[in-house]
Amino acid sequence: MVDQQVRRFSVIVCRGPTCGERRNSAALYAHLEAIIAARKLGEQIALDRETCFGHCLRGPNILVSPGDAGAPFPAAVLYNRMTIPELDRVIEKHLLGGMVVRPLLNRPPVRDG
């Protein structure tokens, strides 16, 4: 029997000009990229960027879906208003533990200015 590692999750970080770039989604992406490399999770977690999820007032946003990129989106969850500590929580609970971190979903919008 061949041991095959299956990609468990696809993680997409929003980099849109309104919510991503202005609210430092690049730091979230870099942090996640470093964690994946340090823990050798590249076979289990696919990381990518997207220009916009359409939830700019709730950004920065991170979409987590099961399997490879392009997996059915009904099973995906969109984390809103993410910070590095909250991203660490998503990594531990969702990406490694398989449990959605519900308090970080559907968070109220934040108006800049």
Long-range contacts of 92-98, Cβ-Cβ distance < 8 Å, separation of 24 or more: 94/9, 94/64, 95/8, 95/9, 95/11, 95/41, 95/44, 95/45, 95/64, 98/8
Domains and CATH numbers, the chain: 9-104 (3.40.30.10)
Q: Residue range 64-71: average pLDDT?
A: 70
**Residues 49, 45, 75, 110: is their CA dihedral positive or negative?**
negative
pTM of the model: 0.85
pLDDT tens, 74-87? 689 999 999 999 99
